[in-house]
Each structure stands twice: as structure tokens, then as C-alpha cells.
Structure 1
């Protein structure tokens, strides 16, 4: 027997899509866009980035530590078949990139996957997505800064034949005491970010063009020593090696979704965000496959694996001089610094969106009227993530960052399906092809790469999610601004 339900009267100020149950609080896309455009306290973000700057920002966020530092670890897992690992990781990214492109064009706000989840899957899932973004954007800043430190030493060696003391250039896990260069690059990025997005975007564009040029130059130099025999046997460690390599190679693509965090500072975001995402994935994949093929073809997989600054070492051996390796090291220093800049930008914008919703303290949403940037937010992020950069090892966080990012991408692919069902008439400047097959394949590929990270990483990830759930239950749920709306 069915009973007639008596609905509560809906306040004209309360969005009709809100659910009174905390875990199912959902914000409509229109509400998210309206709130992001509101000029809170007289000063908000400004739209200053065009398509070229946005593409450079995306390349700046993607191309860095993964190829300059992480290539050696990926080759150790997959051998010459590392190219297949990069392609498998790219396919995973492409399906998810389609989803990000649709959502970024439909909901052009700074919150990226956090806001997408809020509009489709509810507040509790949105908070856990934002919690995982602390891994993708925040912890990866620390990992990237550690990689920057390695190439700073390589550059100093090429220029003046001198290294920084191990005690001051590595954390305790790597035989040192404190990693000062890692702290320096984070603080440099924060200084540039608080000056303004126009200055940050200009610097990122210049660094992106430079590092693409450096990687192309590396391919040209390495190709002069290319020997096809170095690529055989191709699948050295079997399909399992390719899968494990793809899970590591995925770290090289982390950051492309940072493009969607610029939703409130991009001109014509509904058009430019989807285009920029797809261009960046294509550019990164071509670069990675070319660098991996020429590197292994020049010296063989054994010479590339387990070498922290492998690209510089390869150029040194091919040319018989330290000059070429010094140039590559300089390119890596610039490339990795641009990743720190772009990823820190993304983290601050995520926290700004969460702060607007009341899920984290309000200090993160305050924007300076002079620079139109979240100054306090930026310095807090820099200070917090300088600590693991100074004392942690790169290897400790790579797998955990990867699985957290893949978990976010599962949520984004599901969000596309949920938004199509919930808001079929919403304006979309881009639609995923072969819907719903594309987002479903995105989920499957993400879960497959998550499997490849190993059981120990799954345990760490489960503990991390449990901690996030506890923070939400103990702090964020009661302070949510939607909770206040439910009580009005």
C-alpha cells in the first residue's frame, strides 16, 4: 500500500534539488555557477586566460616529474614495452578527459571534480573527492618538488662540477636531513601565484614552451644513437609488467584535470576548457612515447631504469659531454617548477570552492582585492606541503597519489552519467562520444590501473578515505552551508 507523501514547502531561497539528508545534499549546476560568479565582499576572480594560456597551463601541470624523473621507474617495471604502458595510461586519461571536458564545459567553476561530484553524487562523496584532491594536487606538489631537487643537483654538477650536500638536498628517507631545494621551489611558486593569475599564466606559458622544446631536443639527440636491438625483447616482464608500468606511467599524466580548476579565470570557459583538455592529453602522449622510445633505443632499458636523472645521463653518454646533459637538466628544472606552479594553483582553487561551501575553514575563500588571488590560501598550502617535500621520499607518495587520482576519475566518469540523468537539458558545449560507453570504459580502465598499484597501496588508500570520512562527519557536515539552508 502506498501512502501519499507530504512534501515540506520549499523556500524560494532554497534550491529545490537539495536533500535534507546530509550525505545526499546536492547543489544544482546553476547554483554552483551563480555562486562562483558572485562578487563576494566586492572582489572575486577575474577572467584573464585565453585558450593558448590555458593549454600552456595544462602542459605545465602535466609534463614534468613523471617523464624527467619517473621514466626510469616505469622502464624498470615494463622494459621497452613502457611505450605500451604510456599508451594504456593515455587511453585511461582520454576516456576520463572526455568526461572532464563535458563537465568542465557544463559547470565552468573552480572546483573541478569536487564541484562536479557536488552537483551529481552528493556532499559526502564530493567531500571525499576533495579529500583525494589533497593527494593529487597537494601531495604531488611535494613529490614534484623532490624531483626538482634531483635535477638542481644535476644542473649544478654540469655548470660548476659541484653538488649540494646530501644533508641539505634530500630527506631522511633518501640519506639526507632536509631537502632545501624542494622548499625553495614551493615558496617560489607561491610568491608568483599571489602576485596574480596573469603573471602566473605568462610564466607558465613560457616554461611550457621551453620544456617542450627541451624534450624535442632530447629526442633528436638520443635518436642519433638509436639501435633497434635495444628494444628487444620488447615485453620484457610480460603483461603484468605493462600493467604495473601503466600504473606508474599514469603519474606522468596527473594534472590535466587542473585545467578545470581555472573555470572562473578563463575567457569563454565552456568552449576553451574542453578543447584545452584534449590538446594537452594529445601533446603529452606524443612527447612521452617519443622520449621513451628514443631513450631506450639509445642505451637500452637497463641503462635507463633506476636512474633518477636518466635523461641528462643519456645525453651525456650519447654526446660524450656534460654540456648537453646540463641543458636537459636546465629544462627539467624549468619543467618541474612549472608543474609545482600549476598544481599549487589547482589546489588553492579546490580549497576555495570547498571553503565557499563551508566544508573547510573560511580563510581559504578570501580573495585579495589588490591581486584578485587567494593570498592566505596560497601561503597555507605552500607551508603545509613544504613539510613532506623537505622530509619525504618521492617513492613514498607516488603510488598513493596515483590511486587517489584514479579514484577521483572514477567519480568523474560516474558524475557524467548522473548529470545526464539529473539535468538532461543543461547546456553542454561538449558531449562525450559514444555515451554511455565512454564513461563506463573510463571507470573500467581506472579500476584496472588502481588494481596495478598493489594491495599495500589499497590499504593506505582505505585508511586515507576513512580519515576523510571522519573529518567530514566530525567537522564539515555540520558546518556545511547547505546544512544551514536545510535549517532555515
Structure 2
């Protein structure tokens, strides 16, 4: 096989599915835990802080900004849903790219997902310490000293809370997928309950005059607001990383992806509507903790912000757990294909990839504890958008190359929806800062060195008999 053809070789959907059917991971997840997995990965810190960024640009029309961002996410979600039903294996966008666009593109996609998942978990864990301090201050009147609550570059020595929440998530994951799913479902229900509490309290103080002028900056402001809040929707694809632990993946994965996005969008719109109506867009824009500020104004009491801080602590814990889970399952797929070391796909008696989980958890906990992640965390966005874009391309390619492949879900309005999703991803990518592009370029260069130095030679597609006999 020529060098160029080797880079573009695809792994047929049937072979991916066959590999997945022989996995030692246990199929224990039904629709509810799959929805909880995606909602848990999506409904995190974003809604607790994003209004402060979006409200000044959009005004009260920030509610419309959330709707537009949800529609933009929906285009990619529909493409994810079709591929999840057609290629129901772990690996998410990496596996879909392998089945449609070839090995090199799949590697780049998987490498982007590792950046997205790993850095986002570390950054979210850093934020967990801040909310934990707020909760402790409001309940027992103590705070963790800065030396042990911030990394060296931010005036601390070691961010103990950030490392702690990652290691706790590792401990839960090592218990097994059923236990992890139960913890995810419980924490997801708690944070939904806290946001419903916010809506119920804030809506009692709704004042129509706070909604005028509705769109002071017109559609430009609404569009800017949509760009700001789009990244609050990242995570809906988490269910697609559980393709080999779902009881009925072809049926339940597409449903979980669409349902989770609908739930998250509804919560965002309702919370934004209640917050703006209660205190006005200007007040929200002047606070880094917009929801806590809104509750404090509405109730005149500090207890309400403590409740919200508790919700944020639970929300971030859930995000750390679900995203860490997703990263380990992507590594299982890459390892099984030979592109990563084999130990990363080995599972223990609990059907958990223990070596993989410990390695990932250790790396992420270290990043969270000692590295300031303010700028590095922005790389999460570009890694996510590249993966989304490749999924939109992949669904178009698979429709053309494998029209006979069974599909439990079909993206509507083909090819408009995936092309629109691709265009929106491109629009948002080119709006990112130069430092984000530089970080992404360096990460991609490192990934290509790893692929050409290790993965390409060890790919199981070089040894088809070995791969098919697994």
C-alpha cells in the first residue's frame, strides 16, 4: 500500500462494530443514564457564568441568543445522531472519522478530542475550587488558603481542590460503569433541581420593564451573544463515547443526543429569561457570578447564593466525572486500533479500563493543580469545533459511500443540515483568538509526530488478520 493510501485508509463501519461487539466493556446503560451522561457533561459551569459575558452584547435578547446557539449545536447534534446509530461504538467523532475520512483524519480528530476533554476537565476542576470556597464561606465561615487553592502562576503553590475533584472522579470511575452512571444521574438531577429552584425564585420578581429595549444592539448583538453562549452547549456528544456500554446503542444513542440537547436548551432559555426579567441585563453583565447576584438581589438573603454555590459544586463535579469518562473511552478505541499503547484498552474484572483511567486522571489532576489554565482552556473550543466539523463532513461522506448501511436515525434535510453545521463551526473557529490558534497548531504538530512515529506503523489496519481475530 502506498504511503498516501495508507494515510487515507478507512476502517469499515462493520469492522468497527465487530470490534465493539467483542469488547469486554459491559453493556449496562439504558436511555436514562445515557441522557444523564450527556446532560451532565453539558450542563456545567457555563450557565453559572455565561450570562455575564453574553448579556451586555445582546441585552434581554440574550434569551434569543441561547435559542440560536442551540440551533447551531442542533445541526451538529443531528449529524452525531446519525453516525452514532450507524457506527455504535466507543470513540465518538474519532471512530466516525475513521469510518468515513481515513486514518490520518481520524487520528487528528481523536487528538483534538483529547485536547478538548483533557484541558476542559482540568479547567473545570480549577473552577470547582472557587465555588467550593464560596460554599464553605457561606455555610461554615471558612475558606481554603490561596496557597492551596490556586496554581503557582495565580499566586498559589498547589491547587488542592482541583486535584482532589479529579482524583475523586477517578475513584468513582474505577468502581465500574454502572456505579459511575448512577452517580452521574444523581448529580445531574441535583443540578437541574438547583436551576429549577433559581427559576422559581427569580420569576417571582419578574418585571416587564427589564425586558426593554429587547435587542438594543439588534441582530448583531444577538449574534455576538450566541457566539458567547455556544460553548455552554459543548458536551452533548458525551453519550456517543458510551457506544460499547449502551444496551441498545443503535436505538438509544441518537435519542440520548437529541434529548439531552433539548433539555439543556430549555433550561438555559428559562434560566436566562428569569434572570433578565428579575434584575435586568445590565446587572447580570456587571457580575462574574451572575446567577448568584440575581438571587441575592431578589431575596435579599445570602442563603440563596449558598444554595446556588452548592448547585455549582455539584454541577462541576458531574462535568469532571462525565468528561473524564468520555476521554477514557476515546482512548480505548484509539488503543484498540493500535494508534495508542495497548494497555490503554485493557479492562479489569469490573470491566473498567483501569490503567487508562489512572493515567488520564493523574495527568489531568496534575494539570489542574499546577498549571494556570485561563488561556490554555480556550483551546477546548477549537478542538471541539474541529471535531464537530469533521462529524458533519463524515455524515455526508457516509451517505454517499455507504448508502446501504443500516441507519437507526437519519439526519433530516440532507445535505442542508450538515453543511449548515459545518459552516457554523467554521465561522466560530475563525473568530477565535490568535493564541488559541497557536496552541492548536502546537498540539496538532505534536500529534502528527506521535502518529508518524508510533501510530501509523502499529495500526491494526497493517495487520488485518490480527484485527479481525480480536
Q: Give the TM-score range, shorter chain.
A: over 0.9
Contact map agreement 1:136 1:404 (CA 8 A) in 2: yes
In the TM superposition, residue 458 of structure 1 has moved relative to its aligned partner by: 3.0
Q: C-alpha separation between the residues in 1 aligned to 2:82 and 2:457?
A: 32
**Paired residue for 2:244?**
264
**Paired residue for 1:123?**
103
**Paired residue for 1:104?**
84
* Mapped pair 1:30 → 2:14: yes
Contact map agreement 2:118 2:327 (CA 8 A) in 1: yes
Q: Deviations over 1:210-266 (max 9, x none)?
A: 111110110111122222333344445565544443333122111111101111111
Alignment of 1:328-347 (within 5 A): 328-347=308-327
Q: C-alpha separation between the residues in 2 aligned to 1:70 and 1:230?
A: 19
**Paired residue for 1:14?**
none
Residue range with higher mean Cα deviation, 324-333 or 275-284 = 324-333
Q: C-alpha separation between the residues in 2 aligned to 1:243 and 1:465?
A: 30
Give the root-mean-square deviation of aligned CA atoms.
Answer: 2.2
Contact map agreement 2:460 2:466 (CA 8 A) in 1: no
Q: C-alpha separation between the residues in 1 aligned to 2:97 and 2:146?
A: 43
Question: What is the TM-score normalised by the length of structure 2?
Answer: 0.94
In 2 relative to 1, CA 72–180 (structure 1 residues): closer, same or farther, beyond 3 Å? farther
- 2:112 equivalent among 132, 135, 138: 132
Q: Deviations over 1:69-111 (max 9, x none)?
A: 3432333554433323322221121011111100001111001
Q: Deviations over 1:270-316 (max 9, x none)?
A: 11111111111011011111112222222233332364433223222
Q: Which runs of 4+ in 1 moved over 6 A?
A: none
* Mapped pair 1:303 → 2:287: no
Structure 1's unaligned 5+ residue stretches are 1-7, 9-17
Contact map agreement 1:348 1:381 (CA 8 A) in 2: yes
3-state SS of paired residue (1:428): coil
Q: Deviations over 1:173-213 (max 9, x none)?
A: 44433321111111111100011000010111111111111
3-state SS of paired residue (2:121): helix
Q: C-alpha separation between the residues in 1 aligned to 2:371 and 2:251?
A: 40
In 2 relative to 1, CA 105–306 (structure 1 residues): closer, same or farther, beyond 3 Å? farther
Q: C-alpha separation between the residues in 2 aligned to 1:124 and 1:205?
A: 36
**Paired residue for 2:443?**
464
Alignment of 1:9-88 (within 5 A): 21-39=5-23, 44-88=24-68
**Paired residue for 1:198?**
178
Q: C-alpha separation between the residues in 1 aligned to 2:228 and 2:448?
A: 27
In the TM superposition, residue 486 of structure 1 has moved relative to its aligned partner by: 10
**Paired residue for 2:409?**
430
* Mapped pair 1:476 → 2:468: no
* Mapped pair 1:159 → 2:139: yes
Structure 2's unaligned 5+ residue stretches are none
In the TM superposition, residue 329 of structure 1 has moved relative to its aligned partner by: 1.1
3-state SS of paired residue (1:163): coil
**Paired residue for 2:396?**
417
Contact map agreement 1:26 1:123 (CA 8 A) in 2: yes
Q: C-alpha separation between the residues in 2 aligned to 1:65 and 1:137?
A: 15
